Amino acid sequence: MERIAILGAGSWGLTLARHLFGKGHRVVVWDAFPERVSGLAEKRADELRLPGVRIPDGVVFSCKIQEALADSTVCLVVVPSHGFRETIRAALAHLPGKIISATKGLELGTGKTMSGIVADEAPESLYAALTGPSIAREVARGLPTSVVAASEDPEYARYVQDLFSTDSFRVYRGSDVQGAELGGALKNVIALACGMADGMGLGYNAKSALVTRGLAELMRLAVRSGAKPETLSGLAGTGDLVVTAFSPDSRNRTLGEKVGRGQEPAEALASMVEVAEGVNTASAAREMAKSLGVETPITDAVDMIMKGETKPRDALRGLMTRPLKEEFYGIKEAISDGR
């Protein structure tokens, strides 16, 4: 039995808490908001984020990070990316040697993935990213799900794989942490665009093109950043992009749909219950792309729309009237540069 501290009590953190507790591990969940912690401890449910899902009595809740981490053997971080570094710093004196991140995003200002932040703040820790197509409500219902655990340490990847795997939650393992994390982060931007297409009623032809061209864009940027192309064609890239672009429970797709229907971005954001990571990621990815000389027209358009610099219809027109290209432009060059 492992003693697992989960930092973050959003829908995914609670789902993974139930999952790991169900495998017989001791689980303590920390959240920064005392009123949320007390509510979860009392009601054993979050009807807004996870309707109809009960949190087992044995799962412990705490708003004191040192208490949550006391005697822990593993720390699972599931906080929004904009609070990831601050959370790691707050936990630093109490962190165990094993860290797993289930956060999908990029840090504003630095463009770093969560592994980059851990490398800065806790470089001696074993680290793995858990990512892939995993809508929390479906996992909580026990529906079949497959994800990937990526770590540069092959034994630790195998450990994380064994820690999470069940007959309904299949975990593959990999070593390309950069690719796994960039796939999980960048797909949220494309899902925002797909939601906008849904909101504007553009049809399945347009949405299919957005998914496909979005994947090409994601691959250009990720591979230029050091990722392996096969990682982006797997669960962390294609798989996660498909579910996030099409699921009605996807936060990013839902936010995009609201904007596509005509809501102002600020108003749409204010209506969201949980963080849609694609908004900050679009901004961070756009800066990364500029620094690497990679074309990311969909990401640029999403960032401009969410900042109020253009309207969805104008962005669509701009995407459709760009200079005509070869389909796989930039990808072969990115792969060659990465060798």
Check if the beta carbon of residue 296 is closer than 8 Å to that of residue 285.
yes
How many CB atoms neighbour CB 317 within 10 A?
A: 11
If you write DSSP's letter for every residue of 259-314 in order, what string do you get? Answer: HHTT--HHHHHHT-SS--THHHHHHHHHHHHHHHT---HHHHHHHHHHTTSS-HHH
258, exposed or middle or buried, with CB in 10 Å at 0-12, 13-18, 19+? buried
Mean pLDDT, rounded, for 296-322: 97
pLDDT in tens, 188-247: 999 999 999 999 999 999 999 999 999 999 999 999 999 999 999 999 999 999 999 999
184 and 164 fall within a common domain: no
pLDDT value at residue 334: 75
Whether residue 180 has pLDDT greater than 50: yes
278 and 251 fall within a common domain: yes
Q: Which of 129, 152, 175 is the last residue of a domain?
A: 175
Percent of the chain's residues with pLDDT above 90: 96
90, exposed or middle or buried, with CB in 10 Å at 0-12, 13-18, 19+? middle
Q: Which of 124, 151, 175 is the last residue of a domain?
A: 175
CA distances to 78, 105, 112, 187, 258 from 281, rounded to whole Å, are 16, 6, 10, 9, 18
162 and 186 fall within a common domain: no
pLDDT value at residue 331: 78
Mean pLDDT, rounded, for 107-124: 97
Check if the beta carbon of residue 221 is closer than 8 Å to that of residue 296.
yes
161 and 190 fall within a common domain: no
CA pseudo-torsion sign 236, 239, 243, 245: positive
254 and 327 fall within a common domain: yes
Among 59-68, 172-181, 193-202, 327-336, the minimum mean pLDDT is found in 327-336
190 and 163 fall within a common domain: no
> In terms of pLDDT, which residue wins out, 193 or 325?
193
Band of the pLDDT at 335, cuts 50, 70, 90?
confident
Mean pLDDT, rounded, for 168-188: 98
Whether residue 329 has pLDDT greater than 90: no
201 and 59 fall within a common domain: no
Q: Is the pTM of this model over 0.75?
A: yes
pLDDT value at residue 338: 56
Dist. CA 137–CA 36, nearest whole Å: 19
Chain centre distance of CA 222: 15
pLDDT in tens, 64-110: 999 999 999 999 999 999 999 999 999 999 999 999 999 999 999 99
Between helix 251-260 and helix 278-292 the angle, nearest 10°, is 90
Band of the pLDDT at 26, cuts 50, 70, 90?
very high
44 and 107 fall within a common domain: yes
Expressed as residue numbers, the domain containing 161 is 3-175
20 and 147 fall within a common domain: yes
CA distances to 79, 197, 230 from 30, rounded to whole Å, are 10, 37, 35
Q: Which of 155, 175, 195 is the last residue of a domain?
A: 175
Whether residue 35 has pLDDT greater than 50: yes
65 and 153 fall within a common domain: yes
Dist. CA 231–CA 12, nearest whole Å: 23
Q: Which residues are catalytic?
A: 187
CA pseudo-torsion sign 305, 306, 308, 311: positive
200 and 148 fall within a common domain: no
Q: How many domains does the chain have?
A: 2
Q: What is the CATH number of the domain that holds 253?
A: 1.10.1040.10
162 and 210 fall within a common domain: no
Check if the beta carbon of residue 6 is closer than 8 Å to that of residue 28.
yes
Band of the pLDDT at 339, cuts 50, 70, 90?
very low
Average model confidence (pLDDT) across the chain: 96
Band of the pLDDT at 328, cuts 50, 70, 90?
confident
